[in-house]
Structures are given as structure tokens and as C-alpha cells.
Structure 1
Amino acid sequence: MDDSLAEPAAQNITVQVCYATPLREYLRELTVERGCTIEQAIRRSGVLDDIPGIDLALQPVGLYGKKKPLETVLRERDRIEIYRPLVADPKESRRKRAEKKAQPG
């Protein structure tokens, strides 16, 4: 069999890039070549142009809720997530809610 007739799409994978703000959700599916990294896919998705203020040097990224380095090589159907900075410390928020419940009234 002649390898030159192999389907070029076999070298590509489909991934998603996700980012959410309180007012907007960004979800883009794209096709990238095998061996593509998280950073490469984010840059190709256009999210950095569509949503100013995303800083990959400061904001963590991940796959399916687990933080990963930008150099992570993607697999078919991976969902890349760009995480926003926390507005409030979750531990501090729980402590305040507990104090409020403990107050008589």
C-alpha cells in the first residue's frame, strides 16, 4: 500500500478551548496537528484576540479541571481550560459563612 495516499486528517486531532467570565463564555472547537501543545492550541483558537486581558504567563491552564503546564501535548478531544484568578479566597469565604451562621439572630 502506498503511504502517500494516507489520509492527512489522521495527523490531526480535535480539541476545545474554554474560558469563562461572569458575563461571557468562550468555547471554541478546533482541529490541530498531533503533537500540538496547550499553548499552541490556545494561540490558534483566537481566544487571546477575542478576550483581551488573558495573560498566559500569569493565568493557569488545564485539561478537564486539572492544572497542566503550557507545554503539555494534547490528545484527541482534550478540553483546554484557561482559569481566571480567584476573586475571593475559598477558605476565607467558608470561614465568614461559618461565623455568620454561628451568630445569634
Structure 2
Amino acid sequence: MGRDEQVPPELTIEVAFALPERQKIVTLAVPPGTTARQAVRQARLDEHFPELPAASFEDAELGIFGKRLPAPERHVLRTGDRVEVYRPLRIDPKQARIERAARRSRD
């Protein structure tokens, strides 16, 4: 690389995932143009959560600071972003409300 060429700056971002009993936040330095999906791959969450299938992270819904990303494979990150990897719901929220209401009416 010549003297006048500059190395592109890296962005500092975080990738976060949590189970009910523990969480992991991985800080990464990534090149400009990195997408949310690429950052999740680079975080290697499957190594921190070996009890989960790797597809749990590859196919997961993603968000930035609590806002779901409709197209994480196209969302380009900015420095300081925290990519959140969402777990799939175990039960539909509407069904959970129905079941809670049914239990309360029996009590």
C-alpha cells in the first residue's frame, strides 16, 4: 500500500444474544459496509452457546437497539450499533394471553 493510501476506518459494533439464564455481548471491529447479518456471523455466537444449533443464529430475527430489522442482510451498520439476535418465541403471544386469562378465571 502506498503512502497516500489510507486504510479504511473500522467501525466498533456489538452483537448481543441472551438466554433466560445468561447473555453474551461480543464487541467487534468491522469494516465499513458490514451488514447486520455479516456481523452476527463474525461474532461466532454458536461458540458461546454450543447447546443451540448454529442455525439459531444464522436464521434469527435481528434488531438494532430493540428495533427489528426487516432486511438484516441489507442493513449496513454504523459505529456504535448493537445488533440484537432474537430468539424465536416459544408460544404465540396471543395464545399466551388466552391461557393466562383462562388460568385466572379458574382461580
Alignment TM-score, normalising by the size of structure 1: 0.78
The share of aligned pairs that are identical, in percent, is 33
Moved more, 52-61 or 74-83: 52-61
Aligned pair count?
100
Moved over 3 A (4+): none
* Equivalent position SS for 1:73: coil
Over the residues paired in the alignment, what is the CA RMSD in angstroms?
A: 2.2
Q: 1:90, 1:49 → 2: CA distance?
A: 30
Q: CA deviation at 1:5?
A: 7.5
Following superposition, the deviation at residue 58 of structure 1 comes to 3.1
Larger radius of gyration: 1
Q: Which amino acid aligns with 2:24?
A: Y
Residue pair 1:61, 1:70 contacting (<8 A) in 2 also:
no
Could you list the runs of 5+ residues in structure 1 that have no partner in the other structure?
Answer: none
CA distance in 1: counterparts of 2:10 and 2:60, whole angstroms = 27
| Residue aligning to 2:94 | 91
Q: TM-score, normalised by structure 2?
A: 0.76
User: After the TM superposition, which of the residue ranges 49-58 and 18-27 deviates more from structure 2?
Assistant: 49-58
